[in-house]
Chain A
Amino acid sequence: MTLQFNDETFRGDYTFHNSPHAVRRFPFPFDRDSYMYSVNIEQHPGGAAGTPFEFAFDVDEHYVSEMRDRAITLAEDAQRCQSLPHMELAGWDLLELIMVSKARDYPHWFELTRDGNAWRWINKPMGVDDSFTFLDASTLPYGPLEYITRQAQGDFALLNERDGNLWLDAGMITSQADWSLDFDVGMNFFEWHAPVPKAGKMGVFDKALKFLLAVNQGQSYRRLNWTMTVNPRLDTSPENYHKWGPEKRSITPDNVGQRQFLRVELQTFWRLPRSNALAFPIRCYLASLEDLCTQPKWGRRLHRVLRDIDPDLADYKGFAVNQPTIVDYLSNFDDGAPTSQGIYPDASGA
Chain B
Amino acid sequence: MTQTRFSPSIPSRPVYSGLVSCGSALSIMVADEAGAAALTDLARSDASVMDKAHLLLIGVSQATVQELSALTPRSLSQSPTVQGAEEIFDALIAHAAIGTLLFCAGSEGLIGQFSARAMRFGLSPDAIQSEHRGSVARRMQCVHCKGITEDVTTDPFICGHCGLTLFVRDHFSRRLGAFQGVCVDAETPGDIPETVEIRP
A residues contacting B by CB (< 8 A) are: 79, 180, 182-187, 190-195, 200, 238-242, 245-246, 248-249, 321
Contact = CB atoms under 8 A, between A and B. Distances in A.
Nearest to A77: B146
B159 to A, nearest CB: 11
Contact of B187 (A186, A194, A239, A245): A245
Contacts of A184: 173
Given A187-B173, A238-B182, A195 B143 contact: no
B115 interface: no
16 contacts: A79-B146, A180-B143, A183-B173, A186-B175, A187-B174, A190-B11, A190-B12, A191-B12, A194-B13, A238-B180, A239-B143, A239-B144, A241-B144, A242-B144, A245-B186, A245-B187
B193 interface: no
Contacts, number: 66
A185 B10 contact: no
A239 B186 CA distance: 11
Given A187-B12, A195-B10, 16 more contacts: A183-B143, A186-B174, A187-B173, A193-B11, A194-B11, A194-B12, A194-B171, A195-B12, A241-B143, A241-B144, A241-B183, A241-B186, A242-B164, A242-B183, A245-B186, A246-B188
B189 A186 contact: no
B169 interface: yes
B141 interface: yes
B182 A185 contact: no
B174 A238 contact: no
B176 interface: yes
A241 B13 contact: no
A249 B188 CA distance: 8
Contacts of B186: 241-242, 245-246
B180 to A, nearest CB: 6
Contacts of A321: 187
Contacts of A185: 175
A195 B189 contact: no
B118 to A, nearest CB: 14
Nearest to B126: A163
A195 B180 CA distance: 11
Nearest to A180: B143
Contacts of A192: 12
Contacts of A180: 143, 180
Contacts of B141: 183
A238 B172 CA distance: 15
A183 B176 contact: yes
Given A239-B144, A241-B182, A183 B171 contact: yes
Contacts of A200: 10-11
Contacts of B13: 194
Contacts of B144: 238-242
B191 to A, nearest CB: 10
A192 B174 CA distance: 11
Contacts of B183: 241-242, 245
Given A190-B11, A191-B11, A182 B146 contact: yes
A195 B169 contact: yes
Given A184-B173, A187-B173, A248 B187 contact: yes
List the 6 closest pairs (A to B, CB-CB), nearest first: A245-B186, A194-B12, A186-B175, A194-B10, A245-B187, A191-B12
Nearest to A250: B187
Interface string B12-52: 11000000000000000000000000000000000000000
Nearest to A240: B144
Nearest to A230: B187
Contacts of A246: 186-189
Residue among B10, B170, B174 with the most chain A CB within 10 A? Answer: B10
Nearest to B176: A183
